[in-house]
Amino acid sequence: MKVFMLNGSPHKEGCVYTALTEVAAQLNKEDVETKIFHIGNRAVHGCIACGRCSSLKKCVFDDDTANVILEKMKTADGIIVGSPVYYAGPNGALCALLDRIFCSGSNFLIGKPSAAVLSCRRGGASASFDRLNKYFTINQMPLVTSQYWNSVHGFTPDDVRKDLEGLQTMRLLGHNMVWLLKNMTKNFSPLLEKRIMTNFIKNEEIEKKLELLTRKNLDD
């Protein structure tokens, strides 16, 4: 079994990395292979809603790490995404990548156990945790839980190493990921219904046609 871990911080070996290594150590202890991938600190593209990914099965922009990450996620059994907290939200570059990854490759990720890990100096972790979990919960990906929300506190890696409760939360997250992976006896099969997309903006022309049809039915 293999768990892909995404370090969504601009710092390759900072606080987020420190938290992810604690999770990885527990996963390795229970014979699960791990890979921590750093998104880097170069500029990344935001989604431009061009729709090309529906035919390409990858993002049209191929000069940053989005498609590389998607390919690694495809081959993983479980996924963990880590981010620092900026203004009570995840790193914007990370979210720009995840927007494109999930837009272009969501079908490849359905059913994979997933978790978000946050690092903050003091506050904003819960809001960021909620933001990242939305990528998973819209895509039928089981969330892996721990004894607390998956966050560590500190301004430096050394601070994080002193957050004993946070580190314990990371270890338990790793253990629970292993438990879920080992108890998933077969591949997840999504409900085979045609996707319904509801637009809440009223179309006056359609509304008039529906009104006329309703009146006709009542007259009949």
Asked whether residue 187 is assigned to any structural domain, the reply reads: yes
Digit-coded pLDDT (tens) for 38-89: 999 999 999 999 999 989 999 999 999 999 999 999 999 999 999 999 999 9
The pLDDT of 26-37, averaged and rounded, is: 97
**What per-residue confidence (pLDDT) applies to 94?**
98
CA 20 to CA 115: how far, in whole Å? 11
pLDDT at 215: 66
Number of domains the chain is built from:
1
| Residue 216: inside a domain | no
Q: Looking at residue 134, which CATH number applies to its domain?
A: 3.40.50.360
Q: Is the pLDDT of residue 211 over 90?
A: no
Domain assignment present for residue 201? The answer is no
Residue span of the structural domain in which 172 resides? 2-193
- Whether 213 maps to a domain, the answer reads no
Burial string for 38-73 (b: 16+ CB within 10 Å, else e) reads: bbeeeebbebeeeeebeeeebbbbeebbbbebbebb
The set of residues, in sequence order, having a beta carbon less than 8 Å from that of 68 and lying 6+ positions away, is 37
Residues in contact with 155: Cβ distance below 8 Å, sequence separation at least 6, in sequence order: 15, 121
Q: What is the pLDDT of residue 78?
A: 97
In sequence order, which residues have a C-beta less than 8 Å from that of residue 206 and are 6 or more positions away? none
Average pLDDT rounded to a whole number, residues 165-173: 98
- Residue 169 domain-assigned (yes or no): yes
Report residue 193's pLDDT band, with 50, 70 and 90 as the boundaries.
confident
Q: Name the residue with higher pLDDT: 201 or 99.
A: 99
Is 219 a domain residue? no
Lowest pLDDT segment from 14-28, 72-86, 166-180, 193-207: 193-207
**Residue 35 phi, psi dihedral angles, 5° rounding:** -140, 120
- Please give the model's pTM, rounded to 2 decimal places: 0.88
186 or 14: which leads in pLDDT:
14
Residue 27 placed within a domain: yes
Mean pLDDT of 84-96: 98
Does residue 209 form part of some domain? no
Q: Which of 62-76, 178-192, 195-209 has the lowest mean pLDDT?
A: 195-209
